[in-house]
């Protein structure tokens, strides 16, 4: 901080808050001025500042990088792209670290160059040479602010994912603490009621990421105002160019086949990192707290193995093949034959805790083993697959309906009918029929699909149809294998239409486009993308237009990639290295679970293959079904 400003903050304590308010009001007053607007809980003061722009941000980041490297002044780019404004500028500069939270420095000055110099000097004094060499920078420039009091419960009016927070404190050099939205979100500094969590804030600051900055007491109950900050955020991208961020993520995503594969590889590497030597996985990883746990789910374990074999097929990287194989060997420990009264059936089931076997467990195990055989030519697990398939057939009634569970002990008090298990079984049986055409698998698969189409979904309008992705993928298989292709195609198209109608094509927030539900989540988007991948292939085979499916898939993939965890989104996490590549539940829900990774990985690989195959294809370019 400059000596004149340092002297200012050494004035009498009774003048400090008023001086702070004056400084804050000067921040951007020349570019739009300040206005008063009423709000519950007290008056608010709003100021705006000229935006930064990518060219200016690139120059600022380059200057910061050279300053950290102690480069010559002559090597530094001019800041001509940064529009000068009257009044102070205020920013934060973060330096990422692979195995711990980023170091963060804030700076204020008469212009952006002065503010940057202050922040960079602070970062340089607190970082090692290796951290400066390897860490990426992130720049956040304050472009607007609303000042308001906390309410009587200590709550603030703030979106913790979009707004920064300024906490005035006359004991701090800059008169207070600037907290970035990613810090608020990643470190859980606000709860769901917008109540500032002072204990968590103190714990976060105690890590030393802000130097010697400490906060005493509970700022929400201090009586002092807070500032809700609008920020322009930029990350130091490849080659040093500034990449604009929104909610800590890139709005513009690389959706080329190469970009989609790179994202899938990161997801696969996350699974490798979280696999144990025995073949099991960390079921969940809590990014905010660096904790693993959760009750294990064998179906999702099998799904993770399935996606690893898909990734091996795309990359031929044996790490993924070996990890998936270890996972299947671990899963086989949970295979069990029938109860004594059903011993003659000779099936195998996947037994979950609670002494129950789920239809979907056998189906996903078969799908994973089939994928292994497809990519390796190794049929070692074919006997297991046939016995697991016998279990699925055993669970099927004469009318084609599947029972979702088989009980070794006391059955559930209420029957359970899964939406997705039947579709999983239909797909597994259809694919098994390709390598074992003499078995009853294709007939059972067709009967199961017939029951879902003719009973479960009968009479439902398109808007009421379940978005059953496993069924739609299975219908694509049956379209190719059966003499009832047109029936399966029509129902698949109705499911796809239901998905397209429900997709969010416009949104208040630009990072919500292409999604489902409020707030949007990664896995519901990914599973519907898996469905549309199958529909696009089926439509191409039927000679129909595929463009609307590909357009929807691009929007879905962009959102999926925004929920994936990259260097820029993990800057303030406790262990970025452990979370990197995982797919979180949502933009502000930082749990990673193995099935989130599985479905997103499969969806991205599916779109990639469509693009490599030439999608979207011209109408009437594909083969027609053998029968109408």
- Counting the structural domains of the chain, the total is 1
pLDDT at 575: 98
The whole-number pLDDT of residue 15 equals 31
- How far separated are the first and last CA of the chain, in Å rounded? 78
Domain membership flag for residue 54? yes
Rg over CA atoms, the chain: 28
Is 513 within the bounds of a domain? no
Closest C-alpha among 226, 228, 206 to residue 216: 206
- Cβ-Cβ contacts under 8 Å for 316 (sequence gap 6 or more): none
Q: How far is CA 441 from the centre of its chain?
A: 36
Residue 80 domain flag: yes
Q: What is the DSSP letter of 150?
A: -
Residue from 422, 416, 364, 368 nearest 393 by CA: 422
pLDDT tens by residue, 197-239: 999 999 999 999 999 899 888 888 887 889 999 999 999 998 8
> How many residues does this entry show for the chain?
628
**pLDDT score at 272:** 99
Kindly state the tokens that stand for 546.
């595929």
Instruction: Check the CA dihedral 163-164-169-173 and report its sign.
Output: negative
pLDDT at 21: 36
Q: Is 10 exposed, middle or buried (0-12, 13-18, 19+ CB in 10 A)?
A: exposed
289: exposed, middle or buried (C-beta count within 10 Å: 0-12, 13-18, 19+)? middle
In a domain, 622, yes or no: no
According to the model, what pLDDT value does residue 354 have?
A: 87
By residue range, what is the domain housing residue 104?
Answer: 3-246
Q: Is 319 left (phi over 0), alpha (psi -120 to 50) or beta?
A: alpha
Which residues, in sequence order, are bridge partners of residue 609? none
- Across the chain, which has 628 residues, the per-10-residue mean pLDDT values are 32 33 35 34 56 90 92 69 79 98 96 94 96 97 93 89 92 88 96 91 96 88 89 94 96 97 99 99 98 95 99 99 99 98 98 95 99 98 99 99 96 93 99 98 98 98 98 98 95 99 97 98 99 98 97 99 98 98 98 99 99 89 52
**Count of CB atoms situated within 10 Å of the CB of 628:** 7
C-alpha torsion angle, residues 354, 356, 361, 363 (rounded to 10): 180
Classify residue 58: in a domain, yes or no.
yes
pLDDT in tens, 18-42: 333 333 333 333 233 333 333 334 4
DSSP string, 485-554: HHHHHHHHHHHHHHHHHHS--S-SSGGGTT--TTTTBHHHHHHHHHHHHHHHHHHHHHT---HHHHHHHH
The answer to whether residue 388 sits within a structural domain is no
Tokens standing for residue 400: 């084609």
d(CA 326, CA 194): 44
Cα 595 to Cα 304: distance, rounded to the nearest angstrom: 6
* Cβ(53)–Cβ(210) below 8 Å: no
Residue 257 located in a structural domain:
no
Q: Is the dihedral of CA 126, 235, 148, 27 positive or negative?
A: positive
Q: Does residue 429 sit within a domain?
A: no
Residue 73: the pLDDT is: 63
């Amino acid at each position: 901080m400059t000596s004149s400003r340092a002297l200012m903050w050494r004035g009498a304590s009774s003048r400090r808050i008023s001086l702070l308010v004056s400084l804050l009001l000067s921040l951007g007053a020349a570019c739009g001025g300040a206005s008063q607007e009423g709000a519950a809980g007290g008056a608010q003061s709003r100021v705006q500042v000229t935006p930064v722009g990518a060219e200016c941000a690139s120059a600022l980041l380059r200057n910061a990088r050279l300053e950290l490297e102690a480069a010559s002044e002559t090597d530094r780019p001019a800041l001509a792209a940064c529009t000068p404004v009257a009044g102070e500028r205020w920013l934060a500069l973060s330096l990422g670290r692979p195995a711990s939270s980023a170091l963060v420095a804030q700076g204020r000055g008469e212009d952006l160059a002065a503010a940057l110099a202050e922040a960079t000097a602070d970062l340089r004094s607190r970082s090692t040479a290796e951290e400066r060499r390897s860490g990426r920078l992130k720049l956040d420039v304050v472009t607007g602010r609303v000042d308001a009091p906390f309410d009587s419960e200590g709550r603030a009016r703030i979106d913790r994912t979009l707004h920064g927070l300024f906490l005035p404190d006359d004991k701090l050099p800059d008169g207070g603490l600037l907290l970035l939205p990613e810090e608020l979100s990643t470190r859980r500094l606000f709860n769901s009621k917008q109540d500032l969590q002072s204990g968590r804030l103190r714990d976060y600051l105690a890590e030393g990421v802000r130097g010697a900055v400490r906060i005493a007491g509970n700022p929400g109950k201090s009586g002092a105002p807070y500032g809700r900050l609008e920020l322009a955020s930029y990350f130091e991208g490849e080659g040093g160019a500034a990449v604009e961020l929104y909610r800590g993520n890139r709005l513009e995503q690389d959706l080329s086949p190469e970009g989609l594969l790179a994202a899938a590889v990161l997801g696969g590497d996350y699974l490798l990192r979280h696999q144990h030597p025995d073949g099991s996985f960390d079921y969940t990883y809590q990014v905010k707290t660096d904790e693993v746990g959760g009750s294990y789910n064998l179906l999702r374990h099998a799904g993770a193995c399935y996606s690893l074999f898909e990734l091996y097929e795309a990359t031929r990287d044996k790490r993924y093949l070996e990890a998936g194989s270890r996972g299947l060997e671990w899963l086989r420990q949970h295979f069990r034959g029938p109860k004594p009264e059903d011993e003659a059936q000779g099936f195998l089931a996947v037994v979950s805790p609670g002494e129950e076997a789920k239809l979907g467990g056998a189906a996903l195990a078969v799908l994973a083993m089939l994928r292994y055989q497809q990519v390796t030519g190794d049929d070692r697990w074919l006997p297991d697959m046939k016995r697991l398939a016998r279990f699925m057939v055993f669970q099927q009634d004469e009318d084609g309906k599947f029972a979702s569970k088989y009980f070794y002990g006391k059955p559930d008090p209420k029957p359970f009918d899964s939406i997705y298990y039947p579709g999983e079984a239909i797909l597994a049986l259809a694919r098994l029929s390709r390598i074992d055409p003499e078995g009853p698998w294709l007939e059972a698969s067709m009967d199961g699909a017939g029951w879902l189409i003719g009973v479960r979904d009968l009479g439902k309008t398109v808007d009421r149809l379940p978005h059953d992705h496993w069924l739609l993928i299975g219908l694509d298989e049956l379209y190719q294998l059966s003499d009832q292709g047109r029936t399966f195609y029509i129902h698949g198209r109705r499911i796809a239409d239901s998905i397209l109608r429900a997709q969010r094509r416009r949104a208040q927030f630009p990072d919500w486009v292409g999604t489902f539900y409020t707030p949007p989540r990664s896995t519901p988007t990914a599973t519907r993308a898996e469905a549309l991948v199958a529909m696009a292939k089926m439509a191409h085979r039927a000679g129909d237009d595929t463009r609307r499916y590909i357009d929807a898939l691009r929007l879905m993939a962009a959102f999926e990639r925004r929920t994936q965890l990259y260097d820029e989104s993990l800057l303030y996490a406790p262990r970025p290295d452990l979370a990197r590549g995982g797919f979180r539940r949502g933009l502000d829900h930082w749990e990673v679970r193995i099935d989130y990774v599985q479905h997103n990985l499969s969806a991205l690989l599916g779109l990639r293959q469509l693009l490599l195959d030439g999608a979207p294809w011209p109408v009437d370019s594909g083969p027609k079904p053998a029968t109408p």
